[in-house]
Structure 1
Amino acid sequence: MSEDSRPMSILSETDCWKLLEGTALGRLVTSVDGHPAIFPVNFAVQRRTVLFRTAEGTKLVSTAINNNVLFEADGHGTAEGWSVIVKGVARALRDDDDIADAQRAQLLPWPATDKPHFVRIRPLSVTGRRFLFGPEPDPAPSKDFTGARADAH
């Protein structure tokens, strides 16, 4: 079976970044009060980092306390889908130069709310998979307790 026809294939890091650059909604996975938490965020890719904006609150506090995060984005069409996971370190931007750099990404909040804080995720690893959709394969013939194929009787 060729790599292009396998139901699941591993994406290169370059392909992962290309897919991330082409989408705008992902999920931040962090820890809040010792429990896993997941937050949808719109984001931008800037020089192989993930950038999002947030207001005061749980996302900002959790990235300050537990800066080791996961970020996941995915997409799909009618015949295939993909998923990319960025494991990294999140840091709220405080320096004026860093904030000015982040503003060049032209990342606007989706809801009509003030989200003055930029958070950048610097990756430690980036992994991804592509999935080809199709029918479920036929199940293997079952065997009876003697080891003989059940459909051979």
Structure 2
Amino acid sequence: MTHQIIPVTQLSEDESWALLAGQPVGRLATSVAGRPDIYPVNYVLDDHTVVFKTERGSKLLELTINDRVAFEVDDWREGLGGWSVVCRGQAEKIEDPDERERAEELPLHPWVPTPKTVYVRIVVDDISGRSFRFNAEEAAPGIELGD
């Protein structure tokens, strides 16, 4: 029996959320002073939303002006394959005292030992993911690719 090799496979919404949940670092894509920019951030998922901490500055200022963002995570293994998950949605500062208290209980620890006092939540409108097969003989470990 011959199997057709599918180099790019669309992932289901559930598969995309599972991969998003398994990574500690993602990339926030937004606009800064009218120019696209990307920021690496560590994050956690909270009930199908993305939560991260930041401090006052250009990133936060732009999120208050243009709250539509994209967030991406990926992984790959050289010679085998990889995957990418992109979600799009609305970024909002967490200001409600009850929501802030909930955010403070999340396992979210900034990498850099500088104060990060502002919690931001991305309310996801849509999520999509793709897996890639680089080597037709093998798939990346832990990723189910199409037959």
TM-score under structure 1 length normalisation: 0.83
- 1:88-111 deviation digits (Å, cap 9, x = unpaired): 000011111111111222201111
- CA RMSD in angstroms comes to 1.5
- 1:83–1:61 Cα change, 3 Å: same
Q: Which amino acid aligns with 1:11?
A: L
Q: Which amino acid aligns with 1:50?
A: V
Aligned ranges for residues 28-43 of structure 1 at < 5 Å?
28-43=28-43
- 1:56-76 deviation digits (Å, cap 9, x = unpaired): 111211111100000111112
* Deviation at residue 2 of structure 1 after TM alignment: 5.5
Match of 1:100 in 2: 101
For this pair of structures, how many residues does the alignment match? 134
Match of 1:51 in 2: 51
The separation in 1 between residues aligned to 2:16 and 2:67, in whole angstroms, is: 22
The separation in 2 between residues aligned to 1:77 and 1:44, in whole angstroms, is: 23
* Deviation at residue 77 of structure 1 after TM alignment: 2.6
Q: Which amino acid aligns with 1:32?
A: V
Q: Higher relative contact order by CA 8 Å / sep ≥ 6: 1 or 2?
A: 2
Match of 2:88 in 1: 87
User: Which 4+ stretches in 1 moved above 2 angstroms?
Assistant: none
**Most deviating of 95-104 and 45-54:** 95-104
The separation in 2 between residues aligned to 1:40 and 1:113, in whole angstroms, is: 15
Match of 2:111 in 1: 110
Match of 1:21 in 2: 21
Q: Which amino acid aligns with 2:65?
A: I
Unaligned runs of 5+ in 2: 137-147
Higher alpha-carbon Rg: 1
Asked whether 1:125 is paired with 2:126, we answer yes
2:18 aligns to what SS in structure 1? helix
1:134 aligns to what SS in structure 2? coil
Unaligned runs of 5+ in 1: 136-153
1:39 aligns to what SS in structure 2? strand
Percent identity, aligned pairs only? 40
The separation in 2 between residues aligned to 1:127 and 1:2, in whole angstroms, is: 25
